[in-house]
Amino acid sequence: MTGSLAGGAMAPGRVLLIGCGPGDPDLLTVRAVRAIAEADVLVVDRLVGDGVLVHARADAVVISVGKKAGGPSTSQDEINRILVREALKGQRVARLKGGDGFVFGRAAEEIAAIRAAGIEVEIVPGITAAHACAARIALPLTLRESVRQFSLVTGAAADGDLDLDWASLAAPHQAFAIYMGVRTARALRHKLLAAGAPVSLPIVVVENGTRANELAISTTLGDLIDAIAAFGVTGPAIIFGGLHWSDANLTMPDNVHVYCASVDCATASAHEASAPDVI
């Protein structure tokens, strides 16, 4: 408990927005571990790894506010209210987010609500899923001579319209990571092909990255939908585009599954050009 003001009024507590990485608790920062251990209340996302809460005090209150696409979810407004409510009690509140709160994590909305209530907020960055998933399978995200732009984009949209710069994403020598793209993969594929991306564009899908049930698939844009279906990918997953180990003179790790029905994945490269298929 943070304490009371003179006269008995409770002093506001504070909120720490903590990025907890993609799942593996070993990827927590030292600052995150310390902040979790000091918290009176932990407000926890669904994607926070199970081992993260090992660092919490035994007497800490844990409030689950998970969100699941198409399933039960806690609204963002309700999460904001919980954070403000607990901090106004004088509590030290740890808001635990998967990955990094500033990368498709709605941290800005929570910071605004917390500050509007006159409460101090601190941001503790975490390792975002794209970086961690790529590291697990030794997939470089940039290459000095051939991949000089790497984009992070979301495959989900509140209004259902995937309004992205498709021409830029489909251009040669570009690479990208799509968050929350499994459910909209067919639309993503259609948009990229329509923008000129080749069917041979290398695609790597990593589901449950850094966790015990991690699954990595190497495929192509042409085979993306079939690959997702064949391996039963439901997410959470990162879909990488325009990246392949061969472009970096590296060997694909043995734990990466290959799915190629229409294009040879071993030779597919972001630098190859072929006409998009008609869909």
List, by residue number, the catalytic residues: 45, 67
What span, in angstroms and rounded, lies between the C-alpha atoms of 191 and 167? 9
Short-list 273, 133, 124, 147, CA closest to 217 = 133
Please name the residues in contact with 266: beta carbons below 8 A apart, sequence gap of 6 or more.
246, 258
Short-list 207, 224, 228, CA closest to 216 = 207
What span, in angstroms and rounded, lies between the C-alpha atoms of 261 and 268? 12
Rounded to the nearest angstrom, the gap between the alpha carbon of residue 93 and the centroid of all alpha carbons in its chain is 23
Please name the residues in contact with 25: beta carbons below 8 A apart, sequence gap of 6 or more.
49, 50, 51, 52, 54, 55
List alpha helices for 137-196, DSSP H.
166-170, 185-194
What amino acid occupies position 10?
Answer: M
What span, in angstroms and rounded, lies between the C-alpha atoms of 110 and 2? 21
List alpha helices for the chain, DSSP H.
30-38, 76-88, 107-116, 129-136, 166-170, 185-194, 224-230
Alpha-carbon Rg for the chain, nearest whole angstrom, is: 21
| Residue 220 tokens, joined | 């192509």
